[in-house]
């Protein structure tokens, strides 16, 4: 993939950019000024839509300088709506975001979509691993 197609939904939207040519992510910008109250979240509009090609996914990731948390950020191929960024303010103070501020970055990466096969638990693992069940992620 050499290009990603992006369009403005709103005239005031800022097209995603890379600060440096070798940066992996495209910076996403807030369409509007937003205040996020303490310990709450808001879906922030970007005013843009993009065409993620089949075989790729867009991952919305944090920018290192921002002092907030992002909610789940997966943009699947085939999604044709406006890109919105869920911002979570974990602090005890409100956060203000100005229109045109960089709020996140979009990383477009190739993916595989393997078929799912259901098997009995006894047949799930071909062999026992040294790790077993220890140290897993618990969601």
The pLDDT value recorded for residue 64 is 79
pTM over 0.75: yes
Please check whether residue 48 is in contact with residue 9, taking contact to mean a CB–CB distance below 8 angstroms: yes
28 burial type by CB count under 10 A (0-12 exposed, 13-18 middle, 19+ buried) = buried
The pLDDT value recorded for residue 100 is 97
The pLDDT value recorded for residue 137 is 65
Confidence of residue 65 (pLDDT cuts 50, 70, 90): confident
Provide the CATH topology of domain 5-123: Deoxyuridine 5'-Triphosphate Nucleotidohydrolase; Chain A (2.70.40)
Q: What is the pLDDT of residues 79-114, one digit of tens each?
A: 999 999 999 999 999 999 999 999 999 999 999 999
């Amino acid at each position: 993939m050499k290009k990603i197609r992006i369009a403005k939904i709103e005239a005031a939207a800022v097209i995603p950019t890379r600060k440096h040519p070798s940066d992996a992510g495209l910076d996403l910008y807030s369409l509007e000024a937003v205040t996020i109250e303490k310990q709450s979240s808001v879906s922030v509009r970007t005013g843009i839509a993009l065409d993620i090609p089949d075989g790729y996914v867009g991952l919305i990731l944090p920018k290192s300088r921002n002092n907030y948390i992002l909610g789940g950020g997966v943009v699947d191929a085939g999604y044709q709506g406006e890109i919105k960024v869920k911002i979570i303010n974990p602090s005890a103070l409100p956060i203000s975001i100005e229109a045109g501020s960089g709020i996140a970055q979009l990383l477009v990466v190739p993916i595989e979509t393997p078929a799912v096969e259901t098997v009995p638990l006894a047949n799930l693992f071909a062999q026992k691993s040294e790790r077993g069940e220890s140290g897993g992620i618990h969601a």
